[in-house]
Structure 1
Amino acid sequence: MAAVSERMRMPFAAFLLACALCLAGAQAGAHPSPSSQVFLTVGADRILAEVTLPVDELKLAFPVPLLDTSGRWPMASDARVAAYVAAHLRPVAPDGRAWTVTVTRVRWELERRPADIVTDVVLRPPPGAPAGTLDLAFDAISHQVPNHATLIALRDGTPDSNPRMLAALHYGQHVVAIRVATPHWWTGSGDLFRLGMRHIAQGADHLLFLLTLLLPAALRADNGRWTGYAGTRQLVRSLLTVVTAFTLGHSLTLALGAAGLVALPSQMVEVAIALSILVSAAHAWRPIFPRREGWIAGAFGLVHGLAFAAALRELHLEGARLAAGILSFNLGIEAVQALLVLLVAPLLVLLARTRYLARTRQATSIVATVLALAWMWVRITGVVVPGLA
């Protein structure tokens, strides 16, 4: 019975590890979808809202074709876009009365990558209701795209001032309470923490790089091949080294990128991320840099951090708000990373002395290589392929 139990336990553990390592490949895309942004400026008797919607996401939710086949010319009218925004932006006074919503301008920023549609909106409270106290519901795009997020921020006094993060709305949570007198520099930190968790959990390429690099952590390298179990001490040391180096690398560029001190073209960053997966997949197949995985994790972590920073840079935070935002967002990323390591480490120990780890490692290397090459092709050519963002 013990032998039968062992034979059943090993394939099952291998299956669990393969699922953990290849889960990213089964997701809808390599990155979380680009977020929408709503920037609010409160006046004495109205609120000015600037609503930015990413075109690639809006196409999935808009009731009629948005662009022509070339993606360069609008097919939907400004009036249709304005009506859509107004229908999905619902401010309500404390007593339950609805505010009026008027879209004053629609701008198609199609030359940008990713392209956006920006609308200027005037929100007016009902008679007698305060202009700075309301519940704001917004579910544009997210009513059809469950993983889409919208960042809500409050500007101080003028449309050009730097905003304070209020909330990150998404499917199932599309209302934020706005109380102009109460926001502090740490307001919205919990939402940014959850946004960081969502960003890494939905970031298939980030997860695949890290987990593929961890795959041979329990093995010895001998004459250009992965051989037997290197011991639990070596496994723990390798896991800590890789995860710590990756964390230091992406934390540094996340902070610099979010502050606007470092920036690279997004296409270059995305291609480099796909390249990092290709390198880690090749190393998982045959040892290329045995016991130097920490250096690779740290170096490519710098690139991954620039991708993480894009989500925060859109908010234009500064000072204490920027520091709190970076810390909260990064802690969310680290929380998911820690959960992944806690899942993978015991499976590696369980499988390390069996033939199933070799099979899982080789299969994962092949899957990661195929995904990395596909992502590189899509990101270099710009060809839109559903599921390979």
Structure 2
Amino acid sequence: MRRLLRWTLAALALLVLHPAYAHKASDSYLTLEVQDKRVSGSWDIALRDLEMAVGVDVDGDGNITWDEVQSRHAAISAYALSRLALSSDGRICLLRPGAQLIDHHTDGAYTVLAIEATCEETVTALDVDYRLLDDIDPQHRGLLALRHGERTMTAILGPDQPRQQLTLAQASSWRQFADYVKHGAWHIWIGFDHILFLLSLLLPAVLVYRDKSWHGRDSLRAGAIDVIRIVTAFTLAHSLTLTLAALGIVTLPSRLVESAIAASVIVAALNNVWPVVDRGRAIFAFGFGLLHGFGFASVLAGLGLPPDAMLLSLVGFNVGVELGQLAIVAVFLPVAYWLRNGLFYRRAIMVGGSVAIALVAAIWLAERALDLQLLA
């Protein structure tokens, strides 16, 4: 039984670390507006993703210019529209590409492709079939914001859920709340930097540091109390800055935020190898949690907040993030406590895992601060 639990924890660590080698989860931003039979909007797609799909760097010098994007406009439009289908009442809406612009997101340059569709009848429910990069990047997600009058609906699309039907009839505020809970929970699971930061703080929760080495705690209750303090501090901090940023009260440069989040993961992980902060990890979690809140806000900005249920949707997204965190804690804590006294946990998981996390985060930091692409 003990050996089985060891392998379970090792597998959990590998599952977390494997996708963490991505610089940032690949996203596109699809914004649509429905007016009677007409659907119009824009589609923001990362140039690095289009380079993989259709090739945009014409001269192969590693630097994509506006002239190169313009020269590949037809290929980009054809590829994008071949991966998106809109329909209403079972009838396909005719999609047409429009002009193309360039915009910058937190993770680099994006093409902004204007799109327009005409349906046969007035749209009452829109079916969206989204398959962008489904054969290239299984982690890719499309963030959809659909506007109709004063109402904004959102959805997350990807290889595991390529189709969604959005009904234009007014939904209850509680339905929108539930949708944003789902978005928040999903984001914490694909926000690998947030997960690794949280795990770095949780790894020592079942241990105590004395005589210059780690030792297993005597009771699960003590470890649980430590976890509650850390998660509560992290939650309070990122909830505060998420709210301030989402409401436009405080904003920070995206590159600074993303770089600081990567740095926070490094510091938290190395603190497990060379402990400087032990009893004060909750304060540590609060301080860096403020930065992570701005990171959560960047995703919420892509989804948008519905004007008719802004506060409730914001709370729902935050609740979803917390539920995602609690799911991680619920799996991690009992297994970690069971293994706490073994060398496998204290050396392979605690020290070795922390070093691996720090190395991954160091690559993130270099990519984000210097605008490099070190990992595919």
> Aligned runs of 1:213-292 on 2, under 5 Å?
213-292=201-280
Q: 1:340 aligns with which of 298, 304, 328?
A: 328
Q: How far apart are 1:242 and its partner, in Å?
A: 0.8
Deviation readout 1:177-228 (Å, 9 max, x if unpaired): 2433334545554443333233222222211111121122222333554345
Structure 1 counterpart of 2:371: 382
Q: Does 1:101 align with 2:85?
A: no
Deviation readout 1:24-64 (Å, 9 max, x if unpaired): 3221535652432222222244222222222233333x234
Q: Does 1:29 align with 2:24?
A: no
Deviation readout 1:211-251 (Å, 9 max, x if unpaired): 12112222233355434535333212111111111111112
Structure 2 counterpart of 1:40: 32
Could you tell me how far apart the structure 1 residues matched to 2:253 and 2:108 are? 12
Q: Does 1:122 align with 2:116?
A: yes
Could you tell me how far apart the structure 2 residues matched to 1:143 and 1:327 are? 35
Q: Does 1:82 align with 2:73?
A: no
Q: Is the 8 A contact 1:259 1:313 kept in 2?
A: no
The farther-off stretch of 287-296 and 84-93 is 84-93
Q: How far apart are 1:375 and its partner, in Å?
A: 2.0
Give the aligned residue type for 1:226.
W
Could you tell me how far apart the structure 2 residues matched to 1:15 and 1:386 are? 28
Could you tell me how far apart the structure 1 residues matched to 2:146 and 2:15 are? 37
Could you tell me how far apart the structure 1 residues matched to 2:270 and 2:94 are? 58
Q: Is the 8 A contact 1:21 1:211 kept in 2?
A: no
Q: 1:148 aligns with which of 104, 128, 140?
A: 140
Give the aligned residue type for 2:369.
I
When Rg is computed on C-alpha atoms for both structures, the one with the higher figure is 1
- The 1:341/1:134 distance shift into structure 2, 3 A limit, reads closer
Normalised by the size of structure 1, how large is the TM-score? 0.85
Q: How far apart are 1:99 and its partner, in Å?
A: 1.9
> Aligned runs of 1:357-376 on 2, under 5 Å?
357-359=345-347, 360-376=349-365
> Aligned runs of 1:52-67 on 2, under 5 Å?
52-60=44-52, 62-65=53-56
Q: How far apart are 1:310 and its partner, in Å?
A: 0.6
Q: How far apart are 1:168 and its partner, in Å?
A: 1.9
- The 1:188/1:81 distance shift into structure 2, 3 A limit, reads farther
**Can you give the 5+ residue segments of structure 1 that lack an aligned partner in the other structure?**
none
Q: Is the 8 A contact 1:164 1:321 kept in 2?
A: no
Calculate the aligned-residue CA RMSD, in Å: 2.7
- The 1:34/1:187 distance shift into structure 2, 3 A limit, reads farther
Could you tell me how far apart the structure 1 residues matched to 2:22 and 2:293 are? 15
Structure 1 counterpart of 2:165: 177
Give SS of 1:115's match: strand
Q: Is the 8 A contact 1:31 1:203 kept in 2?
A: no
Could you tell me how far apart the structure 1 residues matched to 2:7 and 2:31 are? 46
Give SS of 1:108's match: strand
- The 1:32/1:366 distance shift into structure 2, 3 A limit, reads closer
Normalised by the size of structure 2, how large is the TM-score? 0.87
Q: How many corresponding residue pairs?
A: 371
